[in-house]
Amino acid sequence: MARRYDPERRQRIIDAAITVVGERGIAALSHRAVAAAADVPLGSTTYHFATLDDLLVAALEQVNAEWLADVERWVREAPPETSPADAMAELMERMLQGDRDRLELEYELYLAALRRASVRPIVARYLDDTAELLARRTGDLEVARQVGALFDGLLLQLLLTGRPFDRAEARGAFERVTGEGRGGAASSGDVAGR
């Protein structure tokens, strides 16, 4: 029997891996589970991804690319007169009101780096890329890194505890990190011009 030409198979396998992790968690990720979800022979998953870590890296790269595109669009579209603290609180609120399953999936893949060294460079690059995007709003790369860390920490706490989002509390935390109100951060008009 002739082999069927299937140029989209690799992408379907990555999408299936994301689906498996999203529905059943990272512990359920296996070549067999992904092959079933992608409706491909088991050998196809190992052909394209020799190890589960290879598959996890591909899935994380795709999820990160989607996240970074969302952040880049948000940075580009946020009104320049909005302070960085207001903008970050608004972004967090929008994310929490959006696809919560997707948000949990993103953090589950992100936290996979705790146990898988092969994933750490992907997470490190994601953190650097996110900080560079946030620096367009904060005006300072180090402040942007701190804002990113606070953003991740607050979001994780809300996801883990189920506490309701308090926009004023989040805004106050971002103000303290950015130095807004103390004259320590560039004004939003200065930042927007960069």
| pLDDT the model gives residue 113 | 85
pTM equals 0.80
Helix (H, G, I), strand (E, B) or coil at 161: helix
Q: What's the token pair of residue 119?
A: 């994933």
Q: What's the token pair of residue 151?
A: 């953003």
Distance CA 9, CA 87 (A): 39
Same domain, 21 and 113: no
| pLDDT the model gives residue 43 | 93
| Local confidence pLDDT in tens for the 194 residues of the chain | 345 667 799 999 999 999 999 999 899 999 999 999 999 999 999 999 999 999 999 999 999 999 899 889 988 888 888 888 999 999 999 989 988 888 888 888 888 888 889 889 999 999 999 999 999 988 899 999 999 999 999 999 999 999 999 999 999 999 999 988 665 444 443 433 33
Same domain, 30 and 119: no
Distance CA 148, CA 14 (A): 27
Q: What's the token pair of residue 70?
A: 């969302």
**CATH at 86:** 1.10.357.10
**What is the tally of structural domains in the chain?**
2
Same domain, 68 and 154: yes
The continuous run of DSSP H or E covering 5 comes out as none
Q: What's the token pair of residue 81?
A: 């007169």
Distance CA 124, CA 97 (A): 27
CA 75 centroid distance within chain? 15
Per-residue pLDDT tens digits for 32-43: 999 999 999 999
Same domain, 172 and 82: yes
Which domain range does residue 96 map to? 53-180+188-192
Same domain, 39 and 111: no
Query: Which is nearest to 11 in space by CA: 32, 42, 43, 34?
Result: 34
Distance CA 91, CA 96 (A): 9
pLDDT averaged over every residue in the chain = 87
Same domain, 30 and 60: no
Same domain, 63 and 145: yes
